[in-house]
Amino acid sequence: MHRVIPQASDDRHVRYEAMPDDALERALATLREGGHRVTGARRAVIETLAELDGHPGAEDLCERIRQRYPAVHRATVYRTLETLAAIGVVTHVHISGGATAYHLASEAGARPHLHASCRTCGSIMDLPDGMLDSVSRDLLEAHGFELDPRHVALSGTCKDCRGAG
Amino acid sequence: MHRVIPQASDDRHVRYEAMPDDALERALATLREGGHRVTGARRAVIETLAELDGHPGAEDLCERIRQRYPAVHRATVYRTLETLAAIGVVTHVHISGGATAYHLASEAGARPHLHASCRTCGSIMDLPDGMLDSVSRDLLEAHGFELDPRHVALSGTCKDCRGAG
DNA sequence: TTATGTGCAAACTGTTTGCGCGAAG
DNA sequence: CTTCGCGCAAACAGTTTGCACATAA
């Protein structure tokens, strides 16, 4: 695969707000620094990640990628996400009863944070990073357990669903 | 080949360890009260649940059940667990990257509690139920989100694995 | 008798893996 | 030219579902 990327000028549902190219180039640099190769598939994954809002799962990414780069295979997306996670370019959070959600670590406004997912509607909300600090401390002191609060989303019912229910 | 291990074939009350009959009968009563039928498969699931220590997943249960009641199908185990959960006879916790864990709600020493699972070794530990109370309060006040702290296990690294790592 | 539960096979979601080819370096 | 990454198919774990038959009430 070569750098023949149909950077659509006719994009109807693609918004380039925060200019992903910047994030893209930084990600590619990190990839090179780690001794990894820069490939079309990897560009595609990073670019798509930069473009998608919310908390897309791997399958969401696959679907979106397929629209522009039909040659990029699902398995490659998974492998790429794994690689990118390993070098810190993307972060992921496991959602109870759903797909793992990914986003670029360097995304604008994406400093470290926690997640909570709604059991009813599946929506995911971001939470302040320090929210579980005291629990973490407790857990470590009392049980020797080192909590990784960013690794899994908390579960419950969101505002809207509480209202509706 | 007889009785290397005490077996229950058509004998309903073979019990080599103490007591699950009590929990079993209570569970069956709840089942009846809810207008559900008492069946062999349901007995098998409850009995096995009472017997297994730790935090077995549905597949663990299936395997154990198959040893004694080979006719009970995996799908039935899942459906039974769903039913029992609905009427409050069993509780379940979703484990990140693993199987949902079940246990009898009425089990000895099984008052409500939280769980944490080790990302490295997969072990599951019980935690005091109130551990996330202040976080719950925060979440509700600040974000309108109603946390269900028993629904998902916290994730991190257990004492042993921290030592080893 | 009759609704409810069951066994079975098959689908399903999310993810991983072995294989040989092709392309990045 | 030598790896590393790729596409592909297939396997995988955990769980759910449609169907026809069995059975508890």
| B86-100 per-position pLDDT tens digit | 999 999 999 999 999
Q: In the prediction, which pLDDT does B22 show?
A: 86
Q: What value does the mean pLDDT of chain B take?
A: 88
Dump pLDDT digits (tens) for B11-38: 333 443 444 578 999 999 999 999 999 9
In total, the C-beta contacts within 8 angstroms joining chain A to chain B are 94
Residue with tokens 């185990």: B77
Contact B157 A135 (CB under 8 A): no
Which nucleotide minimizes the distance between its C1' and the CA of B38? D24
Kindly list the distances between the CA atom of residue B126 and the CA atoms of A97, B130, B153, in Å, as whole numbers in the listed order.
21, 12, 9
- Does residue B131 have a pLDDT over 80? yes
Taking the C-alpha atoms of residue A107 and residue A22, their distance in angstroms, rounded to an integer, is 10
Average pLDDT over residues B118-125: 94
Q: Do the domain assignments include residue B62?
A: yes
- Please report whether residue B50 resides in a domain: yes
> What tens-digit pLDDT sequence spans chain A (165 residues)?
433 333 333 333 344 344 457 899 999 999 999 999 999 999 999 999 999 989 999 999 999 999 999 999 999 999 999 999 999 999 999 999 899 999 999 875 668 999 999 999 999 999 999 999 999 999 999 999 999 999 999 999 999 999 876
Residues of A in contact with B94 (CB under 8 A): 96-97, 155
pLDDT for residue B165: 66
Computed from CA positions of residues A149, A59, A84, A67, in that sequence, does the dihedral angle turn out positive or negative?
negative
Q: What is the pLDDT of residue A107?
A: 72
C-alpha B124/C-alpha B112 separation (Å) is 15
Would you say residue A4 lies in a domain?
Answer: no
Q: Which residue has the tokens 């600090």?
A: A133
Report the distance separating Cα A31 and Cα A118, nearest Å. 34
Q: Which tokens belong to B87?
A: 């009427």
Beta bridge partners of B137: none
Q: Could you identify the residue whose CA is nearest to the C1' atom of nucleotide C25? A: A37
pTM: 0.86
- Mean pLDDT within B140-164: 95
Decide if B2 is inside a domain.
no
Tally the domains of chain A.
1
**Nearest by CB: A96 against B119, B146, B151:** B151
How far away is chain B from the Cα of A143, in angstroms, using its nearest Cα? 7
C-beta atoms surrounding B142 within 10 Å = 11
Q: Residue B161 corresponds to which amino acid?
A: C
Q: Is residue A40 a contact partner of residue A73, using CB atoms and an 8 Å limit? A: no
Q: Is A101 left (phi over 0), alpha (psi -120 to 50) or beta?
A: beta
CB spacing of A144 vs B127 below 8 angstroms:
no
**Tally of CB atoms within 10 A around A83:** 16
Q: Retrieve residue B64's tokens.
A: 């154990």
The answer to the question of residue A88 being in a domain is yes
Chain A: residue nearest B114 by CA? A139
Burial tier of B132 (Cβ tally within 10 Å: 0-12, 13-18, 19+): buried
Q: Is A7 inside a domain boundary?
A: no
pLDDT (0 to 100) of residue B110: 66
Q: How far are the Cα atoms of A18, A46, A105, A130, B164 from residue A109, in angstroms, in the given order?
A: 10, 17, 10, 16, 36
Which residue in this structure is represented by tokens 């719950």? B136
- Looking at residue A164, its pLDDT comes to 78
Q: With beta carbons less than 8 A apart as the criterion, state whether A131 and A114 touch.
A: yes
Assign residue B109 a region: left if phi > 0, alpha if psi is -120 to 50, beta otherwise?
left
- B127 contacts in A (CB within 8 Å)? 139, 143
Share of chain B above pLDDT 70, in %: 85
Top residue of B92, B125, B143 to mutate, by most chain A CBs within 10 Å, is B143
Among protein residues, the one whose C-alpha sits closest to the C1' atom of C15 is A78
Nucleotide closest to residue A42 (CA–C1'): D5
Distance, Å, A71 CA → C18 C1': 20
Whose structure tokens read 């020493």? B109
* Domain interval for residue A104: 14-162
CB contact under 8 A, B148 and A131: no
Rounded CA gap, A123 and A157, in Å? Answer: 9
**Whole-angstrom Cα distance, residue A53 to residue A49?**
8
Asked if A152's CB is within 8 angstroms of B151's CB, the reply is: no
Q: Is the pLDDT of residue B76 over 70?
A: yes
Looking up residue A82, the CATH number of its domain turns out to be 1.10.10.10
- Nucleotides on chain D within 7 angstroms of protein Cβ: 4-10, 13-18, 23-25
**In this structure, are residues A154 and A115 in contact, taking their beta carbons and an 8 Å threshold?**
yes
Q: Considering the domain boundaries, does residue A34 fall inside one?
A: yes
Examine residue B24 and state whether it is found in any structural domain, yes or no: yes
Q: Strands of B146-147's sheet, edge to edge? A: A124-127, A114-118, A154-157, B146-147
User: CA B72 to CA A57: how far, in whole Å?
Assistant: 36
Measured between CA atoms, how close is A17 to chain B, in angstroms?
A: 27
Q: For position B10, what pLDDT does the model report?
A: 35
